[in-house]
Amino acid sequence: MIGVTLKQLHYFDALARHQHFGRAAEACAISQPALSLQIKELETLFGALLVERGTRKLRLTPLGEDVLRKAREVLVSVEELEDLMRAAQGPLAGRFRLGVIPTVAPYLLPDTIAALSSRFPEIELELRESITQSLVEDLRDSRLDAAIVALPISEPSLREFSLFNEDFVLVRPAKDADKPVPGPADLRMMRLLLLEEGHCFRDQALSFCEMRQAQPRQLMEGSSLSTLVQMVGAGMGVTLIPEMAMNVETRSADVSIARFPPPRPSRTIGMVWRKSNPLADQLMQVGAIVRGVGQRDTQNRAS
């Protein structure tokens, strides 16, 4: 009997992640009929259904859930075996999958890409921008090699490598430039503009304001820091943004920037990867390069 193939496990994993045959096929760069055929062949090998069809939302059967758990263990092991071979060959080369949170990606990535490409000429960067929870899931399932996020993550399976610290700044309408800088208690009384649920920066801003959650009358949400700043320029409220975003996001908006007095709200940006990743030495080198980029940017803003 022909055994289960890695290709079938990859396709089944994609189907479970995307919960849709069409989207899974697109992610795997094959046709939907071809993916459906591979899933059907996998079910034939097990002699039972792995996927419930005909429902509004695709669901795995209990056996399908068990198969998925084992399939992901196999796929992670295969990825780590490939990483062992890459580690033995010396300098980092080939595909390197890096995830970055949205409140960092536009501001840190341009210089980071240049620095990594210079240090590792054979590297092939694959970048993904997403919220922290999604990046952590991809790391655990070996769909990413590393991710740049706000620390701490406190995920036992991941190694955390601190890169740099940065302050938050207050963005308010230009007409308010000469007003005193509000403290946390004052901010709680203002219309606070925040990123949508799921962004860690939203939680950090609420923490500084000593708010577990914002009241509807106080809260307006945006999908990006750029949107928030433009909303402030339109007189809709105030917002907090990380210092690294300040020059990019405020240059075309009618807003003013204010720095908080100590203790200032801040965050630690770091890089995380699986503790079991055999490329640990190379990942430390990548982290050191990103740290250098972030620290130079911080110094340039201070000068």
For position 111, which CATH number holds? 3.40.190.10
For the stretch 113-167, pLDDT in tens is 999 999 999 889 999 999 999 999 999 888 899 999 999 998 999 999 999 999 9
For the stretch 25-47, pLDDT in tens is 988 889 999 999 999 999 888 88
230 & 175 share domain: yes
Domain span at residue 46 reads 6-84
Percentage of residues in the chain with pLDDT exceeding 70?
93
Against a cut of 0.75, is the pTM above it?
Answer: yes
124 & 173 share domain: no
118 & 53 share domain: no
193 & 255 share domain: yes
Residue 169 lies in a domain: yes
Q: Which of 43, 67, 84 is the last residue of a domain?
A: 84
194 & 137 share domain: no
Instruction: Give a three-class secondary structure readout of 214-275.
Output: CCCCCEEEECCHHHHHHHHHCCCCEEEEEHHHHHHHHCCCCEEEEECCCCCCEEEEEEEEEC
Residue 107 lies in a domain: yes
Residue 209 lies in a domain: yes
192 & 216 share domain: yes
43 & 102 share domain: no
Of 174, 198, 176, 175, whose CA–CA distance to 187 is shortest?
176
Of 133, 131, 130, 143, whose CA–CA distance to 13 is shortest?
143
Higher pLDDT, 129 or 222: 129
For the stretch 245-266, pLDDT in tens is 999 999 889 999 999 998 889 9
Residue 190 lies in a domain: yes
255 & 212 share domain: yes
Q: How many domains does the chain have?
A: 3
Q: Which of 43, 60, 84 is the last residue of a domain?
A: 84
Residue 58 lies in a domain: yes
Q: Which of 84, 113, 144 is the last residue of a domain?
A: 84
58 & 97 share domain: no
Residue 141: φ, ψ to 5°: -95, 10
Residue 1 lies in a domain: no
171 & 256 share domain: yes
Q: Distance (Å, rounded) from C-alpha 196 to C-alpha 201?
A: 10
Measured CA angle at 202 (ends 243, 127), to 5 deg: 70
30 & 76 share domain: yes
Give 1's pLDDT tier (boundaries 50, 70, 90). Answer: very low
38 & 107 share domain: no
